[in-house]
Amino acid sequence: MIAARDNFPQPTPQEYFAWEEKQLHKHEYIEGEVYAMSGGSRNHSLIAVRFTTLLSNHLDGSACEVGNSDLRIKIAKSEKYTYPDVSVTCDDRDKTTTQYITYPSLIVEVLSPSTEAYDRGGKFRLYRNNPALIDYLLVSSTSIEIDLYHKKDNGEWIIINYKEGDMIELKSINLTFAIAQIYRGLTLTPENDVT
C-alpha cells in the first residue's frame, strides 16, 4: 500500500480516529497530515495472509498478538500512526489500547514497486523509534527475496538478505522457517512487467 497525501485540515489524533472509522479506505496519520492508503496486488495480499497465518500459528497460546493490515502502529513519543501489513506485539502495554499498538517486536511490510522506497527509508526510520522493535521484514511481491532488518542487543541494526532456498530466522519471536513457505505457488512478475 502507498500513502498519498489528502487535502484535509490538520486533525488531532482523536479527530482522525473518529473520522477514519467512517471511511471506506484506510489512512495513515503523520503529525497532523492524513494520507490515503491504496490497495495492493494479488501477490501482496496472499503474502501478507501467509505471514499472518504463519505467525499466528507459531504464537498460538503465547502472550503475543498478531495484527494484520487493519491494526495501526503508533510511533513511540510522536503523533504518527501507520498501517503495516503484519505486526506482532508481546508487550502488555499494548493490551490497554483499542485503536493501535505502540510496542511491536516484529513488523512485516510486503513491498510493491510504488512502496519500496518509502518502506525501506522513511517508514523504517519511523519504526526504529519503537523501543521494542527487534525485527523489520521487507518482503518482495515480485521475486523470492526478503530483507530482514534486525536490531542487535547493542542497538545496532543489521540487514540480512534472504533468497530462494534460504531459512529465515526471526529472533524477536523465536521462529525459523523456509522462505518457500511464503512464496509457494505464486506467479511472480518482475517489477518492469507489472501492469
**Which pLDDT belongs to residue 173?**
98
Phi first, then psi: what are they for 50, rounded to 5°? -65, -40
- In this predicted structure, what is the pLDDT of residue 113? 79
What is the identity of the amino acid at 168?
I
pLDDT tens per residue across all 195 residues of the chain: 344 445 556 777 777 777 777 776 666 667 667 666 665 788 989 999 999 999 999 999 999 999 998 899 999 888 888 889 999 999 999 999 998 999 999 999 999 877 788 888 888 998 998 999 999 999 999 999 999 999 999 999 999 999 999 999 999 999 999 999 999 999 987 654 444
Where do runs of H (alpha helix) occur along the chain? 13-20, 42-59, 116-120, 122-127, 180-183
Question: Which among 195, 173, 82, 182 is positioned nearest to 130, based on CA atoms?
Answer: 82
Domain boundaries, the chain: 41-193
Question: Quick check: helix, strand or coil at residue 162?
Answer: strand
- What DSSP designation does 71 have? S
User: Is domain 41-193 in CATH 3.90.1570.10, yes or no?
Assistant: yes
pTM of the model: 0.82
Helix (H) or strand (E) holding 163: strand 157-163
